[in-house]
Chain A
């Protein structure tokens, strides 16, 4: 109990802050902060596995998040039959062609020793393959995108419940991580950072511009939810009774039946959004807890000790017979898969997929701030970082407004300088994040909750 005191204190403060938002602003706001905090926590857990356990820098978090989101679309949207009819066959053919190219290159790589001839052969296969791909896919893409372009214009998905996408998203992200890991993991730390950052930009570019896949920047909206809709709730008998029961005190004060009806209606509308968000928060909490248990178990298992050994001294671990390259690849895939889950969760929560909104500031660098502030190598720290940083990110505007009003209270309301500052409030969050990160790195480089290693 005593040794976990700092964790308990930190988490109670965090929870208290969110509850405070509920009292001061609104419960709906507090719950949406909580939901996104939980999603951020999943992302930071993924990044923490890579950075905290193994010391791998992965600046490609944005790419995996987007792939998770793509999975949500591909799983939950019903298939567009017409599009499949006009272009489905060619697209499937293209998939086989890509597989064929990859396998033939692998075959050549294995069969022949390195020589000029082999390189030319590989280049020829790639070029011929690309031209064939272009020839087969171009007419198909055009006809798919012309199937009622205002509403669909893409192949659609499988029409399965969206919850499946959380697993599918993990597989998508893991597969991408496997490819990237094979290419880039041999690089030195900061090279790896730049390479992953750029590759994630390529992933976003593909998702943005391949309209047949997920409508690109035209966005997919109205994804099915795993929880009830507000409109349905408001007509349900049991829900109305529940709201009545909860608010009996305030309802009994009003004697006029008409007024009482009005108030009840308002309360029902308000509490239906709260209820939906509560359901989401419950689902997300389950995911966070499951992941936390697994990662905690892994951290203190022999495997976790091996990872730390590799992180702290690669050569020594290698000399002990541990396969460093293989373990790095494994942890790279695992961490990215967790980030993929978070990406799918986020799209599920929003109910829409907007590839244009994936920007490295929000989805890569902010997550890194969370990991470093929270405490790398410590899962509780990473989750706390996700909570604290997201909370600050959302609440930065009110805090900045308060501070500006406080410091410029001597100036007039219409003072140009004051108006300018008030207008640029949204950008103070960047300042807070930056200064926060710099202060933590300087004075508490191991984060709020530093890594604890049990010595046996």
Chain B
């Protein structure tokens, strides 16, 4: 019986990775949810917009590295991120002007807009692959670990080590800061309130003198900021590959729907729901029980509920279950 080691084991392999993965998903889910609430369509370019922002962050990172600028123990990408954000904002605004605004004035059905977003998905994907190529890239520099397994073992004298990567801490801190600012903006400022009003009831919002153009523009700007930050954090933590980013669109959608689409706070929590359930269900609990149970009861299997190959399938199954029993999401969004 060794509770301490068991807890550290779970912290190391379950809690810390799930927390950082969940934050990255949450950032994506929030902007998908916002676009759904305000522009009223499913934005299929989500994953590729994230890879677009990340690509420019990487390009600026390389540029700064070639100039010899760095942030010491922090990754240079943090410095490059604002520039990536600016370019992504320009990109989405141009895209809105050229493509989406036409369908808004035509009052096209949401399905039409979703199809159009598939067109922009193709274009964005092509741009990313033409500029930076389809390969796996790592752009992390600076100090890699905050806490190494060996150091932790020496410090506490436990068998199990706890590793905390600096990217995980950065992810968490940046997410907390960005999300707090976002919710402060949505709940306290006049523009934010007008956005929520527009999302709740478009006609009433227009009657009370809210400028729809401004609301739409701010939505796109927020989407670009969140996409770049979320994408860059994911890339720092793992690696940047356009195809993985495209695939990440699926758990992001799952998170947004599970949280109640159109409801940014629900989407934020939805990201963690998806991340934790993915990792909880595919983790092999053998070692955990070895610590907890007496030797005579030691399990012989891996005690894995599902093989890790089904990681994605878990989040999708959750989504299907939620759609079946609570179509408006766990945290009540727009009732569809």
Contacts and interface: CB of A to CB of B under 8 A. Distances in A.
Interface of A: 57, 183-184, 187-191, 193-195, 197-199, 201-202, 205-206, 208-209, 361, 365, 368-369, 372, 421, 423-424, 427-431, 433-435, 437-438, 441-442, 445
A252 B174 CA distance: 79
Given A424-B130, A433-B122, A441-B112, A209 B310 contact: yes
A90 B217 CA distance: 60
B320 A195 contact: yes
B125 interface: yes
A427 B126 contact: yes
A241 B118 CA distance: 52
Given A183-B320, A430-B122, A193 B134 contact: no
B42 interface: yes
B115 A441 contact: yes
Contacts of B127: 431
8 contacts: A365-B118, A369-B122, A423-B133, A427-B125, A429-B126, A434-B125, A437-B115, A445-B112
Contacts of A208: 309
A420 B123 CA distance: 18
A195 B319 CA distance: 8
Contact of A187 (B118, B125, B323): B323
Interface residues of B, number: 43
Contacts of B111: 57, 189-190, 193
Contacts of B330: none
For B99, B121, B316, B327, which residue has the most chain A Cβ atoms within 10 angstroms? B316
Contacts, number: 121
A191 B309 contact: no
Nearest to B336: A188
Contact of B129 (A195, A365, A424, A437): A424
A280 B254 CA distance: 41
B110 A190 contact: yes
A205 B313 CA distance: 7
Contacts of B120: 434, 438
Contacts of A198: 250, 253-254, 316, 319-320
Interface of B: 41-42, 99, 102, 109-112, 114-116, 118-127, 129-130, 133-134, 246, 250, 253-254, 257, 307, 309-310, 312-313, 316-317, 319-320, 323-324, 327, 336
A365 B41 CA distance: 17
A76 to B, nearest CB: 26
For A190, A201, A441, which residue has the most chain B Cβ atoms within 10 angstroms? A190
B122 A205 contact: no
Contact of A434 (B119, B312, B317, B320): B119
B119 A441 contact: yes
B336 A191 contact: yes
B114 A437 contact: no
A199 B310 contact: no
A7 B249 CA distance: 38
B248 to A, nearest CB: 12
A164 B129 CA distance: 41
A183 B316 CA distance: 13
B320 A430 contact: no
B130 A209 contact: no
Contacts of B319: 194-195, 198
A255 B208 CA distance: 92
A237 B281 CA distance: 62
Contact of A428 (B41, B126, B327, B336): B126
A198 B109 CA distance: 23
A154 B296 CA distance: 36
Given A202-B317, A423-B133, A431-B130, 5 more contacts: A183-B320, A427-B125, A430-B129, A431-B122, A445-B112
Nearest to B98: A438
B164 to A, nearest CB: 31
